[in-house]
A and B are shown apart, each in its own frame.
Chain A
Amino acid sequence: MKKNDVYLIICILVVCGGIALITNLVTRAKTTDAAVAVVTIDGSEYGRFPLDVDTEETIRFEDGSYNTLTIHDGICDISEASCPDQICVNHMPIQYNGQNIVCLPNKLVVTIENGEEDDIDGMTH
């Protein structure tokens, strides 16, 4: 390792660490109480689940595969899935605006969004 390598590594780590920290703080600050988990399958919306209601929803696909979405104490998680890699199940639970869980084999995306009543558009009406 030469000096340049060390500079490169430090630069990447500082820049990305900074961006990660800032986006994390911003999403935390932006999250409202009316946040919903939006489930999207292959680009089209499947359903919206409010985070303040405890639910367990099993999303079944035509080919027999499934993902089980669990909302508990305002935290959203995929508790069970048929996919081979189980990345979505091992993914840490999400609760802040903009966070998401992705299941690539089933083309399923769960994203946390703020409730509509807290939108800027909603307030100006």
Chain B
Amino acid sequence: MKTKRLTTLGLLMALAFVLSYVEYLLPLNIGIPGAKVGLANLVVMVALYSIGSKDALLLSFVRVLLVGFTFGNMAMMLYSMAGAVLSFFAMLLFKRTKLFTATGVSVIGGVFHNVGQIIVAIFVLETASLIYYLPFLIIIGTVSGVVIGIISSMIITRIKI
């Protein structure tokens, strides 16, 4: 059982890592900073529904550390960490209410990922006017959340980990 958990986590970790890399290679330039599809959230979503919240949190945490050390820098890691942690707990909360399916939970994840990053950016840059970006980023987070949610619910129903 322990070996199975270890291999599953390792596999999902590698998947999240690769998806982060793909996203790093193909940035989305639409004039708004921080707009992303959030492909790695796909793995966190699948983990949340299939292997439980504790392991999903661990996965999300290790992913941010690995990606930060490999492709980014300390500042970037700080932003990702704030976004990842906030979005994870928001998703967990919404999943526990049992009112929403994977799509709704994923939308909340996308929205709070951006909210977390903006909050850190406001503190780091000491510029409260960044809040102007928030409505746009939340809309983008919603759209990407819907996409990720639909894909992950397909995966969750088809693959039993």
Task: Looking at the assembled complex, report how far the CB atom of B2 sits from the nearest CB atom of chain A, in whole angstroms.
Answer: 36
A102 touches B127 (CB 8 A): yes
CA distance A88 to B139 in the complex (A): 21
A102 touches B121 (CB 8 A): yes
B132 touches A4 (CB 8 A): no
B129 touches A5 (CB 8 A): no
**A-facing residues in B111-161 (Cβ within 8 Å):** 111, 121, 124-127, 129-130, 132, 135-136, 138-139, 142, 146, 149-150, 153
A35 within 8 A of B: no
- Count residues of chain B with CB under 8 A from any CB of chain A: 34
- From A13, A17, A20, A90, B29 is in contact (CB under 8 Å) with A90
**Chain B residues near A19 (CB-CB < 8 A):** 135
A43 touches B125 (CB 8 A): yes
A2 touches B101 (CB 8 A): yes
A123 within 8 A of B: no
B103 within 8 A of A: yes
- From B31, B75, B111, B150, A91 is in contact (CB under 8 Å) with B31
Q: Total A-B residue pairs with C-beta atoms closer than 8 Å?
A: 90
A125 within 8 A of B: no
Closest B residue to A7 by CB, please name it.
Answer: B104
**Chain B residues near A12 (CB-CB < 8 A):** 107, 111, 138-139, 142
CA distance A90 to B139 in the complex (A): 20
Closest A residue to B106 by CB, please name it.
Answer: A5
Binding site for A on B (CB under 8 A): 27, 29, 31-33, 73, 75-76, 79, 99-101, 103-104, 107-108, 111, 121, 124-127, 129-130, 132, 135-136, 138-139, 142, 146, 149-150, 153
